Amino acid sequence: MAEGGFEVLSDGGISQVEVSEAVGLDQISYEVGEYRGSMEVCMEWLRRCPNMYTMLRDRATGGIVAYCGMVPVASECYGRLRSGTLLDLDIPGDSVLDLDRAPRGLYRVYLLSVVVHPEYRGRGFAKAVLKAAFGRLAAGRAGGVFVGGMLAEAVSAEGEGLCRGLGMECVGATVRGTELYEVEWPGGFVMERDFSLDKGRGNGIIQTSATKKKDGEQ
């Protein structure tokens, strides 16, 4: 739970209707079409990785008001993303992994986006979905599945603030000129050691690879 009246949805079980609501949040929050996820792409990723989404539901309305999207990807795909030549919405479905079914080893994830409905910003809901999502990264350690790093594209000053707050550093740029951020976790991600937003900036709406802000937004 994020706070009374709100419920964090994680551990799989996200429905097509809920994915549609997440895509709808993109439409509400973002202007630039090339950064928006499509139902077809998102559903293909979800089939490959049932735990890619962490969402926050308003119990009063039943609606999804915030979400985080994160996918583990194959090494070759991660390398192309890190080089900036492969953009996130072009991640092939067969490069998306399901860590719940993965063999023992060290993996890397791509942070797609964190979005909060405009009417719900400034209440800590971005941190709530991020905390739940990162909790899943650490869950595989008992089975020998470790997450050794994360990459994200920042397309706004606020997205940059999030990345830096998570301990990420700028490692390059994409072919569209946006900055790429990465963090390495030697030995695998540990929640108590590695999760913090203390250095982050912003009011609770985080934009990474989802879109640019609308003109005039702060």
Q: 182: which strand partners? A: 151, 169
Residue 152 CA to residue 17 CA, distance in Å, equals 26
Average pLDDT score over residue span 37-45:
92
Helices (H), the chain: 16-29, 39-48, 75-83, 125-139, 157-165, 191-194
Q: Residue 215: is its pLDDT beyond 60?
A: no
Residue 110 CA to residue 91 CA, distance in Å, equals 10
Question: At what angle are helices 16-29 and 39-48 packed, to 10 degrees?
Answer: 130
Task: Please count the residues of the chain.
Answer: 218
Percentage of residues of the chain with pLDDT beyond 90: 76
Read off the pLDDT band of 29 (50, 70, 90): confident
Percentage of residues of the chain with pLDDT beyond 70: 86
Q: Residue 72: which of 147, 127, 10, 126 has the closest Cα? A: 147
- Compute φ and ψ for 96, nearest 5 degrees: -85, 130
pLDDT of the residue at 34: 60
pLDDT of the residue at 59: 95
Q: Residue 208: is its pLDDT beyond 90?
A: no
If one compares 10 and 119, the residue with the highest pLDDT of the two is 119
Q: Residue 200: is its pLDDT beyond 70?
A: no
Q: Residue 152: is its pLDDT beyond 60?
A: yes
Residue 207 CA to residue 159 CA, distance in Å, equals 5
Both tokens of 198, joined, read: 């203390």
Residue whose pair of structure tokens reads 């606020």 in the numeric block? 158
User: Domain spanning 6-194: which superfamily?
Assistant: Gcn5-related N-acetyltransferase (GNAT) (3.40.630.30)
pLDDT of the residue at 11: 79
- Per-domain residue ranges for the chain? 6-194
Give the predicted TM-score (pTM) of the model: 0.88
Q: Residue 3: is its pLDDT beyond 60?
A: no
Both tokens of 34, joined, read: 């090339």
Q: Residue 30: is its pLDDT beyond 90?
A: no
Read off the pLDDT band of 211 (50, 70, 90): very low
